[in-house]
Amino acid sequence: MTTQLPLRSEVPAELTWDLTLLYADDEAMQKALKATAKKAQHLATFKGQITTAKQLATVLILAKEIDEELEKEYVYAFLRRDSDTTDATATALFGQAAQVATQIETQLAFIDPEILALSDEQLADWQANEPALAEFEFQLTSLQKQKAHVLAGEQERLLSRLNHALDGASEIYNTLNDADLDFGKIRDENGNLVQLTHGNRSQYTESTNRKVRKEAALAYQKPYHQLRHTFAATLNSFIDSENALAELRNYPSARAAALGRNQIDETVYDNLIKTVNAHLDLAHRWYALKKKYLKLDHFYQYDIPTPLAGTDILKTSYEDGKKMVLKAMQVLGDEYVTGLKEEFANRWVDVAENKGKRSGGYQISVYQANPFILLNWTDKLYSTFVLAHESGHAMHSWFSQHHQPSEYADAPIFLAEVASTFNENILTDWLLKNYDDPKVQLYVLEQSIDGFIGTIYRQTQFAEFEHQAYMTQQAGQTLTADYLDQVNEKLLKKYYGPAVELTGTLTQSWAYVPHFYMNYYVYQYATSWAISTSLAASVLAEESGAKERYLAFLSAGGSATPAQILKQAGIDITNTEYLERALKVFEHRLDQVEALLAKVDNGSAVN
How many Å apart are CA 125 and CA 236, to the nearest integer?
A: 46
Confidence at residue 3, expressed as pLDDT on a 0 to 100 scale: 66
Confidence at residue 215, expressed as pLDDT on a 0 to 100 scale: 96
The answer to whether position 71 is within a domain reads yes
Task: Please report which confidence band the pLDDT of residue 579 belongs to, taking 50, 70 and 90 as the band edges.
Answer: very high
Confidence at residue 395, expressed as pLDDT on a 0 to 100 scale: 98
Is 29 strand, coil or helix? helix
Residue pair 7/355 in contact by the 8 Å Cβ criterion: yes
The answer to whether position 48 is within a domain reads yes
Compute the mean pLDDT over every residue in the chain, rounded to the nearest whole number.
Answer: 93
How many Å apart are CA 397 and CA 556, to the nearest integer?
A: 10
Report the CATH number at residue 123.
1.20.140.70
Of 450, 446, 444, 449, the residue nearest 431 (C-alpha):
444
Confidence at residue 602, expressed as pLDDT on a 0 to 100 scale: 47
The answer to whether position 221 is within a domain reads no
Handedness of CA 327, 332, 338, 343 (dihedral sign): negative
Confidence at residue 1, expressed as pLDDT on a 0 to 100 scale: 44
Confidence at residue 606, expressed as pLDDT on a 0 to 100 scale: 38
The answer to whether position 311 is within a domain reads no
Residue 603 has pLDDT above 50, yes or no: no
| Of 72-81, 112-121, 478-487, the least confident | 112-121
The answer to whether position 153 is within a domain reads yes
How many Å apart are CA 417 and CA 404, to the nearest integer?
A: 19
Is 167 strand, coil or helix? coil
Strand order across the beta sheet in which 2-3 lies: 2-3, 193-195, 185-187
Overall average pLDDT of the 275-290 stretch: 97
The answer to whether position 587 is within a domain reads no
CB neighbourhood size of 125 (10 A):
13
pTM (2 decimals)? 0.82
Task: Please report which confidence band the pLDDT of residue 153 belongs to, taking 50, 70 and 90 as the band edges.
Answer: low
Confidence at residue 605, expressed as pLDDT on a 0 to 100 scale: 41
Residue 160 has pLDDT above 80, yes or no: no
How many Å apart are CA 385 and CA 548, to the nearest integer?
A: 24
The helix (H) or strand (E) run that includes residue 330 is: none
Residue 203 has pLDDT above 90, yes or no: no
The answer to whether position 19 is within a domain reads yes
Overall average pLDDT of the 190-197 stretch: 93
Of 244, 261, 262, the residue nearest 253 (C-alpha):
244
Phi/psi for 376 (5° steps) reads -130, 85
Catalytic residue among 105, 156, 206, 390: 390
SS (H, E, C) 219-246: HHHHHHHHCHHHHHHHHHHHHHHHHHHH
The helix (H) or strand (E) run that includes residue 363 is: strand 362-365
390 is an active site residue = yes
| Of 151-160, 219-228, 433-442, the least confident | 151-160
Overall average pLDDT of the 18-38 stretch: 98
Task: Please write the tens of the pLDDT for every residue from 428-453.
Answer: 999 999 998 888 899 899 989 998 99
Overall average pLDDT of the 291-315 stretch: 88
Residue 527 has pLDDT above 50, yes or no: yes
How many Å apart are CA 404 and CA 148, to the nearest integer?
A: 28
Residue pair 409/397 in contact by the 8 Å Cβ criterion: yes
Task: Please write the tens of the pLDDT for every residue from 381-394.
Answer: 889 999 999 999 99
Of 212, 227, 264, the residue nearest 510 (C-alpha):
227
| Of 106-110, 413-417, 470-474, 487-491, the least confident | 413-417
How many Å apart are CA 367 and CA 543, to the nearest integer?
A: 33
Is 359 strand, coil or helix? coil
Task: Please write the tens of the pLDDT for every residue from 338-395.
Answer: 999 999 999 999 999 999 999 889 999 999 999 999 999 999 888 999 999 999 999 9
* Residue 122 or residue 261, greater confidence: 122
Residue 18 has pLDDT above 80, yes or no: yes
Overall average pLDDT of the 203-221 stretch: 92
> Domain range holding 23?
2-166
* Integer angstrom CA distances of residue 605 from 293, 304, 435, 600: 11, 15, 20, 11
Phi/psi for 119 (5° steps) reads -70, 155
Number of domains in the chain: 1
Overall average pLDDT of the 452-465 stretch: 97
The answer to whether position 103 is within a domain reads yes
